[in-house]
A = this chain, B = another copy of it.
């Protein structure tokens, strides 16, 4: 898909390509896309997964609210339009990392099905959707950052699960019941899917 504004661009091949980089790294560029409510355990699982993959000699990079919202997407808020643009940009950055040969982990609520599916289409076969499936009740009880409390007081608007919807994944590659099992089990579920 080309944008009409960007007409004076000519494609050219770089001499070193994705396959070369994957040979160097001895791994395949992949996106492991963690989705779920705030407090479901996405960041905890992502951190543990990174450690495990590092032990296996794999190069990973974690994209999350912290490094994206404070940098690339600092101009975006939390309304529906900005959330969609947030996920679009994250998808595009993930695509670049995959092309670099890196195993990208993402930890974003990413509540809208259409946004996630857009990233899936963009990335293709190397997109692994991991649904961190934890009930709203449990997430609200955990409330590790105190965000549900703030949202209920009206201090945060458009908060997923309260005044903004979370659309469950329909065909995720992995479903993790984070409240029913150890973190090790969750990490191994993903590792097993990746077939290391």
Residues of A within 8 A of B (CB): 1-3, 5-12, 14-16, 20-21, 24-25, 43, 46-48, 50-51, 54, 57, 59-67, 69-72, 74-78, 82, 89, 92-93, 95-97, 99-102, 145, 147, 150, 156
CB distance from A13 to the nearest CB of B (A): 9
Contact call A24/B59, Cβ cutoff below 8 A: yes
List residues of chain B with CB within 8 A of the CB of A145.
Answer: 8, 10
Closest B residue to A146 using CB positions: B10
List residues of chain B with CB within 8 A of the CB of A11.
Answer: 66
Contact call B70/A6, Cβ cutoff below 8 A: yes
Contact call B6/A74, Cβ cutoff below 8 A: yes
List residues of chain B with CB within 8 A of the CB of A75.
Answer: 3, 5
CB distance from A181 to the nearest CB of B (A): 20
List residues of chain B with CB within 8 A of the CB of A95.
Answer: 71
| Max chain B C-beta neighbours (<10 A), residue from A5, A6, A89 | A6
Contact call A5/B71, Cβ cutoff below 8 A: no
Closest B residue to A65 using CB positions: B9
List residues of chain B with CB within 8 A of the CB of A62.
Answer: 14, 16
